[in-house]
């Protein structure tokens, strides 16, 4: 009598069929669109066996590309971190006119095509330009040299750290810093003992994304680097050159290294999101 022989479905649920189709469609779509290309990178790299893949990484061209990419990231990422911290401090600790415009300008590089970014740098610092001409005259070329690659990398990653820090620092307000100041702490001491501990995970998160993009940037670097073998060819540029020379295993082996870096980045990023969700920007999704 008190048994209920009825199958209930909650008012906020889709029918099982709709649910099955949705999950299935999304899984299939992501498998084809995301996972298949990722798998292909490793498959092609290992086509002639692991030895061939590793050997292709050891050749001078690939080795020099890896070295250059590490150097570029080692310069561009700290520059960006310093900018991000300074910009976030400026924007969140002070009130001034034109703040909204400043934030829009900081975000601007996100909406500029990497190729256009490279073009802008060539037009500014190229040998034919006013500034570039003077610098080249003093033996300090920018375009087709390391500084140009660094500039291009900083341009395309410009907002990464700042936009992670700004929301977090807005949320945390200024009270803790003000309290530390009333207790007699100096400005730097306040930053290192009060602000930095509060933003460290968001900072790491931004640096992680910035690094991934800086090491992988192709369009902007392709324009400014001149693609000189062994000198200005970063890893992505070298992948292009090897691929166009039909050195498939070599190209995909180098690509696999970058793909591993991408997977590492995603893993660390996801770990941060799970562990420190409350200390990251509320809208950490781009």
Site for another protein in 135-154 (CB under 8 A): 151, 154
- Phi, psi angles (nearest 5°) of residue 76: -70, -40
Q: Which of 222, 233, 249, 280 binds another protein (CB under 8 A)?
A: 222
Q: Which of 11, 17, 51, 183 binds another protein (CB under 8 A)?
A: 11
- Applying CB under 8 A, does 17 fall inside the site for another protein? no
| Pick 122 or 203: Cβ nearer another protein | 122
- Phi, psi angles (nearest 5°) of residue 2: -90, -5
- Applying CB under 8 A, does 286 fall inside the site for another protein? yes
Residues from 118 through 137 that contact another protein (CB under 8 A): 119-125, 128-129
Residues from 22 through 61 that contact another protein (CB under 8 A): 22-23, 25-27, 29-30, 32-38, 40-41, 44
Q: How far apart are CA 216 and CA 271, in angstroms?
A: 21
Binding mask 228-257 for another protein (x = CB under 8 A): -------xxx-xx--x----x--xx--x--
Q: Which of 172, 218, 276, 279 binds another protein (CB under 8 A)?
A: 218
Total binding residues toward another protein, as defined by CB under 8 A: 110
Residues from 68 through 107 that contact another protein (CB under 8 A): 79, 82-83, 86-87, 89-91, 93-97, 102, 104-106
- Applying CB under 8 A, does 155 fall inside the site for another protein? yes
- Applying CB under 8 A, does 174 fall inside the site for another protein? yes
| Pick 201 or 211: Cβ nearer another protein | 211
Is residue 16 packed enough to be buried (19+ CB in 10 Å), middle (13-18) or exposed (0-12)? exposed
Whole-Å CA distances, 281 to 88, 155, 161, 251? 12, 22, 11, 37
Given a contact cutoff of 8 angstroms between Cβ atoms, the answer to whether 118 and 223 are in contact is yes
Q: What is the DSSP string of 151-184?
A: HHHHHHTTTHHHHHHHHHHHHH-SHHHHHHHHTT
Handedness of CA 25, 27, 31, 33 (dihedral sign): positive
């Amino acid at each position: 009598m008190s048994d209920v022989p009825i199958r209930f479905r909650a008012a906020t649920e889709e029918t099982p069929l709709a649910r099955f189709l949705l999950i299935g469609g999304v899984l299939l779509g992501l498998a084809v669109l995301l996972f298949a290309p990722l798998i292909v990178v490793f498959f092609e790299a290992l086509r002639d066996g692991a030895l061939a893949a590793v050997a292709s990484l050891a050749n001078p061209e690939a080795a020099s590309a890896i070295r250059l990419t590490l150097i570029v990231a080692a310069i561009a990422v700290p520059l960006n971190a310093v900018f991000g911290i300074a910009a976030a401090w400026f924007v969140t600790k002070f009130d001034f006119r034109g703040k909204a415009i400043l934030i829009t300008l900081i975000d601007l590089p996100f909406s500029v095509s990497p190729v256009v970014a490279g073009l802008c740098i060539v037009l500014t610092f190229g040998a034919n330009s006013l500034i570039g001409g003077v610098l080249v005259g003093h033996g300090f070329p920018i375009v087709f040299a390391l500084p140009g690659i660094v500039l291009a990398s900083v341009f395309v990653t410009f907002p990464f750290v700042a936009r992670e820090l700004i929301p977090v620092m807005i949320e945390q307000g200024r009270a803790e810093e003000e309290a530390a100041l009333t207790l007699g702490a100096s400005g730097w001491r306040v930053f290192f003992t009060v602000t930095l501990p509060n933003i460290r995970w968001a900072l790491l998160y931004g640096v992680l994304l910035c690094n991934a993009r800086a090491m992988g940037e192709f369009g902007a670097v392709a324009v400014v680097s001149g693609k000189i073998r062994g000198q200005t060819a970063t890893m992505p540029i070298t992948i292009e050159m090897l691929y166009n020379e039909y050195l498939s295993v070599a190209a995909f082996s180098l690509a696999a290294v970058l793909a591993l870096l991408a997977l590492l980045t995603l893993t660390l990023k996801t770990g941060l999101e799970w562990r420190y969700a409350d200390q990251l920007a509320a809208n950490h999704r781009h």
